[in-house]
Amino acid sequence: MRKLLPSIRIYLYKELFEDLPENTVGEKIIKLRLMSNNLQREEFARIIHFHCDTLEGWELHNVMPKPENILKLCEFYHVPLGYFHEYYELYYNNPGKIVRVWKDKNSYSYPDTMKLLNISHSGFARLLSGKTSLSYEMYLKLKGLGAF
């Protein structure tokens, strides 16, 4: 039996796996992994230099990958940060500025905003200045308050 050309093989994988769900970050990783070259989890983990248990946590247990790991996956698959989740796109695009605009738009004082977010003055100042990163937990709080 003749081997299929790589481009035909990739096309077939895309056709085969295009209807897989993409509701979670894990499902999106699975879909990309299978559509690109029908890679098994262990093989993919080796290629991208992640531990297989880490990849399993993302895919099967809804563990949110760290932003730097998502960045690596986005570069590997040539997909935008927002493909995996809005949080990752916000993380790398000055979330402090967005929070400041939201605070000002709602006419919240600094003490009111710190109380809403349950963070200290210094924590809030570091978030606004970009000296600290936007955690997923803080993203969820802000999302719930309508900041994003």
Residue 1 lies in a domain: no
Q: Are residues 80 and 98 in the same domain?
A: no
pLDDT of residue 1: 46
CB 138 within 8 A of CB 117: yes
pLDDT of residue 17: 55
Q: Are residues 39 and 10 in the same domain?
A: yes
Q: Are residues 74 and 101 in the same domain?
A: no
Domain range for 16 is 6-84
Lowest-confidence segment of 15-29, 47-61, 89-103, 112-126 by average pLDDT: 15-29
List CB contacts of 9: < 8 A, sequence separation 6 or more. Answer: 37
pLDDT in tens, 33-62: 887 777 889 999 999 899 999 999 999 998
Of 84, 113, 128, at which residue does a domain stop? 84
